[in-house]
Amino acid sequence: MSERIGLVGGTFDPIHLGHIAVAQAALDCGRLDRVLLVPSARPPHRRPAEASAEDRYQMARLAAAGLTRLEVSDLELRRAGPSYTVDTLAELLARHPAAELFLVLGWDAAREIRSWHQPERVLELARLIVVNRPGLPSPSADDLRAAGLDPARVILCPASTPDIKATQVRRVLAEHGRLDGLVRPEVARYLAERGLYSGRHRE
């Protein structure tokens, strides 16, 4: 039986409990063998990350530490140019030719996938697992078709995930607030030690 590998990408600037909850929900909904957390180097759809690639990679490793079937990949951080998902999926498939790939997205991102770089190829390389996002209803088959998605190639994951955004975490840090319930304690310690997002960043 082929290995079922999920991919959760993002700037992870910083990685928070919402990211982890999405990955864990996808593990169950998609009956996945493992999920890779993939920090992006140069996301084409977003502004550049505030934290360095190395800091974001280390925080992702801390966030996944000890959690079953969650791993961190530096695939995009080692690749030059924009971090296109299609290139990441192609490289993963080249490394694991017998694997079945699943791209894990919230519905807010999945419904915009046709604006991505080479969307047809993305959808050929991986099936989608669409995880519910707070404040958005779960998509119907008609919603999926309207977004240019084949419902037969989409796994809907109605799990409840926390409503946390990286901007919220950065704001709390800038205001020297507490990160309880926002990030794993190991990540909170790293953020404090490095002074990230607080104006006290140490090289």
pLDDT tens digits, one per residue of 105-150: 999 999 999 999 999 999 999 999 999 988 888 999 999 999 999 9
Question: Angle CA(125)–CA(127)–CA(130) in degrees, nearest 5?
Answer: 140
User: What is d(CA 198, CA 176) in angstroms, rounded to the nearest whole number?
Assistant: 7
Tokens of 92: 């993963």
- The mean pLDDT of 157-177, rounded to a whole number, is 93
pLDDT value of position 203 = 45
Tell me the average pLDDT of the chain: 93
Instruction: Please state the rounded mean pLDDT for residues 57-62.
Output: 98
Q: Is the pLDDT of residue 200 over 90?
A: no
Q: Does the structure show a pLDDT above 70 at 201? A: no
Q: Which residues pair with 101 in a beta bridge?
A: 5, 126
Q: Per the CATH hierarchy, to which homologous superfamily does domain 4-194 belong?
A: HUPs (3.40.50.620)
> How far apart are the C-alpha atoms of 86 and 18, rounded to whole Å?
24
CA-based max dimension of the chain: 50
pTM over 0.95: no
Residue 55's CB: how many other CB atoms inside 10 A? 20
Please write the tens of the pLDDT for every residue from 71-109.
999 999 998 888 899 999 999 999 999 999 999 999 999
| Degrees to nearest 5, angle at CA 121 with 30 and 78 | 80
